[in-house]
A and B are shown apart, each in its own frame.
Chain A
Amino acid sequence: MGFFDKFKQGLKKTTQLLNTDIRDLFKREGRLVDEAFLEELFAILIKTDIGVQAGRQIVDQVQSDFRGRVVHLEDVLDTIRKKLKSLLAQTGEPIRWAETKPTVILVAGVNGSGKTTSIAKLAHMLRQQGKSVVLGAADTFRAAAVEQLTIWAGRTGCQIVTGPQGSDPASVAHRAVATAVEQGADVCIVDTAGRLQTQQNLMQELGKIRRVIGKQIPEAPHEVFLVLDATTGQNGISQAKHFSEAVDATGIVLAKLDGTAKGGAVVAIWQAMQLPVKFVGVGEQPEDLIRFDADNFVDALFEGLLGTS
């Protein structure tokens, strides 16, 4: 670099400084909104798994709002938080209750996302509310999945309907709903085998389970929950899309949010198809399922990410 280049660069900084808003000059430890600042912001957003598109949108917005001004990163994040909170905010009950009992909930998701554990927690929550619950163990594929749910049924005090391994999951679902109707149970939760959303035949099987339930009670299933692993990245969008197509998912249960993963993929999913998060799994104990709260979720989204880039 020649002498003149250095000189010019020095001048450039001064010019930039002169172009900044005069109010910003008096802010303590503020930062100029320049390429580096925007890149840092982008990094923080990406680390939440929010995705390139949504991240880029937010950064572009910040750029047009604050470009050339001196700000605190924390203030900018505050603005973003407010926007995300209003975007994700929900009103009303997380579960659409049936007018006449039972309310049927179908639970689906990819392998290992935490379906069975989430169902156990959900059952526990409903039992705490004094509701009677029938579980349908329609995961007849994975080894010992039925046993796993049976143990949970015992712990939470629910009735369970099972079938032998390898049997038709739709028939188990059918019997579970029939049992719930017969006994006048408040809620029937049907577990299904984990499946990747690209497995056509298995997705069709899921559609069949849904139809079989619908034949017994016309409005059922009242809720179809997609269980999403919070550590999942951009593939979550594909999961939400395909499961919605196959069984008309009505909401997401975001499992395993007690780790360091942020679960930002649900923001991208909301933007793409307005599929809301209903519950959040935050531990291994039966009571570790809480209602989704946009404020808490968004606050946690950027926690621990500042100054790490």
Chain B
Amino acid sequence: MREGLELVRNALLEADVSYSVVKDFVDRVGAEAVGEAVLKSLNPSQQLAGVVHRELINLMGPVDHSLHLRGDLTILMLCGLQGSGKTTTCGKLGRMIRERGRKPFLVAADLQRPAAIQQLHVLGEQLGIPVYSEPGTSDPVAVCQNAVKEAKKQGADVVILDTAGRLHVDEALMDELRRIDRRVSPEQVYLVVDGMTGQDAVNSAKAFNEALELDGVVMTKLDGDARGGAALSVKQITGVPIKFIGVGEHLDALEEFHPDRMAGRILGMGDMLSLVEQAQQKVDQEEMARAQAQLEKGEFTLETFRSMMAQTRKMGPLQKIMGLIPGMGAANKMMEGLDAEGDLNRIFGIIDSMTPAERRNPTKLIDQSRRRRIATGAGVEPHEVNDLVKQFDGMASMMKRMNSLGIRERVKMMNELQSGGFLNPGAQLTREKKGTGKRLTPAEKARAKKERERELRRKKRQQRGR
């Protein structure tokens, strides 16, 4: 438990979450996890991972992607440190607003950096959005005021102020920002934060928030490999929602912020490593070892099958697991539109309705009456029980064969199985139910059945041929 918390703490610190935020977080999560673990007496590390993830999402939420645009004229102001990406974000926001059918109006209020005005003009031209600037002036407050008047005249309804980058400790420039805020009183003030920012994120965010009362945060440069821990720090310090994230240099690369994805990113999940961790945490090692031993002895029963499937399932939705395994992309595509989860539920239902003896030797024991009993118990059609038994037969013989093979042959065999008609040629995963929109006549049905049987025989012949 303590080690788990230490790991979490290091992960957060390495992701550049501010120290004080990490400390509070770990203390609280530790207390909560202990409480819950006692209550539910689950595997503590699993418990911890869940609590950490959930808490991170809670901390970075609730989401609010709305720009709170009013009917008449809305003024948005962007501010931030130098090089955080204000001007680019200004262009991206302008594009997004225009897509929503509004009339954006960009204002070049960055009179500090050489050519910042030109940069915004170029962006405006690319997007076909009007840009206001006053060459030769040095008073951004006046520029903003005049810009708002001009925007009204031109019939624009969203004004975006691109202010100069400034250090939060530069009193003169922070005061200038306050003056713009007072004179123009923007509806929404957004802080633009570089996603790669380290421990200093708290200091700057705090200063900007105190000067301006922020309404939102835009986090930029998240298309790289930065873990983006600053998101958590900034949210904690300012309490305002993170609205958008910048994920590329092009003007359409602005996305809505999702706390769950960010939590995963900060913790460094979503890769193979996390799958391994999940597997270690969630799979009961003993049970897996027992199943393995049974398999090696050539004893493959429905019980083994069930426990194996149950273990796999603990790691998460099947499709997600497949997505995490490199090289399984094709299998994942195959599963699109398949009701794999539902299938698994039905299979569990059927196996659970069997007696232990039936599970060990389904082919021999299950006759018509047993089949009907099992089907009723599982709430399925009797033929589905048959399908499962058939499938099991195919699998059992395969498992026996596999045990006599080396690892390379095994992999080869699995590949063949995947590309060919899966384990049992007759067995198919149920598709999610969709109407075909047409009813078949009995004659058509008979023809389709014949067709299917022919296909089945062909596949069987092929298998024997091998």
Contact = CB atoms under 8 A, between A and B. Distances in A.
Interface of A: 43, 46-49, 51-52, 110-114, 117, 141-145, 147-148, 150-152, 165, 196-199, 229-236, 238, 256, 258-262, 265, 284, 309
9 contacts: A49-B199, A117-B113, A145-B115, A147-B115, A196-B221, A231-B201, A259-B81, A260-B204, A261-B198
Interface string B115-147: 110111111001000000000000000000000
Interface string B7-30: 000100111100110010000000
Q: Which of A145, A196, A230 has the most CB of B within 10 A?
A: A196
Contacts of B241: none
A262 B13 CA distance: 16
A224 B82 CA distance: 23
B238 interface: no
Given A143-B122, A151-B114, A234 B15 contact: yes
A151 B111 CA distance: 13
Contact of B20 (A151, A196, A309): A309
A150 B123 CA distance: 19
A231 B116 CA distance: 22
B229 interface: yes
A230 B224 CA distance: 18
A52 B10 contact: yes
B14 A144 contact: no
A275 to B, nearest CB: 17
Interface string B150-192: 0000000000000000011100000000000000000000000
Contacts of B123: 143
A235 B83 contact: no
Nearest to A155: B114
A196 B114 contact: no
Nearest to A260: B203
B381 interface: no
B215 interface: no
Contact of B226 (A47, A145, A150, A235): A235
Q: Which of B116, B120, B196, B201 has the most CB of A within 10 A?
A: B196
A235 B114 contact: no
Nearest to B12: A52
A236 B14 CA distance: 11
What 7 pairs across the A-B complex have the smallest Cβ distances? A233-B198, A112-B83, A233-B16, A143-B122, A144-B119, A261-B200, A148-B115
B225 interface: yes
Contact of A49 (B168, B200, B224): B200
Interface in B393-437: none
B194 A229 contact: yes
A144 B226 CA distance: 27
B194 A112 contact: yes
Contact of B198 (A49, A110, A147): A49
A232 B119 CA distance: 24
B223 interface: yes
A147 B108 CA distance: 16
B296 interface: no
B230 interface: yes
A234 B198 contact: yes
Nearest to B167: A259
Contact of B224 (A145, A198, A259, A262): A198
Contacts of B204: 231, 259-260
B362 to A, nearest CB: 52
B92 interface: no
Contacts of A165: 122
B197 interface: yes
A256 B15 contact: no
Contact of A141 (B81, B116, B225, B249): B249
Contacts of A265: 198
Chain A: interface secondary structure?
Answer: loop
Contact of B119 (A51, A113, A143, A261): A143
A45 B139 CA distance: 41
A236 B224 CA distance: 12
Contact of B227 (A110, A197, A234): A234
B84 interface: yes
B85 interface: yes
Contact of A260 (B20, B112, B169): B169
Contact of A196 (B84, B120, B223, B227): B223
A235 B115 contact: no
B118 A144 contact: yes
A259 B194 contact: no
Nearest to B10: A52
Given A144-B119, A144-B121, A256-B81, 9 more contacts: A43-B23, A48-B199, A111-B83, A114-B83, A143-B120, A143-B126, A152-B114, A199-B224, A232-B196
Contacts of A43: 19, 23
A308 B14 CA distance: 20
Contacts of A145: 115, 119
A58 to B, nearest CB: 14
Contacts of B224: 110, 196-199, 235, 238
B222 to A, nearest CB: 10
B88 to A, nearest CB: 8
A235 B226 CA distance: 5
B166 to A, nearest CB: 9
B24 to A, nearest CB: 12
Given A112-B194, A229-B194, A234-B14, A46 B221 contact: no
Nearest to A284: B112
Nearest to B20: A309
B115 A309 contact: no
Given A43-B19, A260-B204, A238 B118 contact: no
Contacts of B225: 196-198, 235, 238
Pick the most buried of B83, B113, B121: most chain A CB atoms within 10 A of its CB.
Answer: B83
Nearest to A154: B114
Most buried by B among A47, A111, A256: A111
A44 B456 CA distance: 71
A284 B13 CA distance: 30
Given A51-B14, A144-B122, A148-B115, A233 B199 contact: yes
Contact of A235 (B16, B81, B118, B220): B16
A250 B66 CA distance: 46
A164 to B, nearest CB: 12
Contacts of A198: 223-225
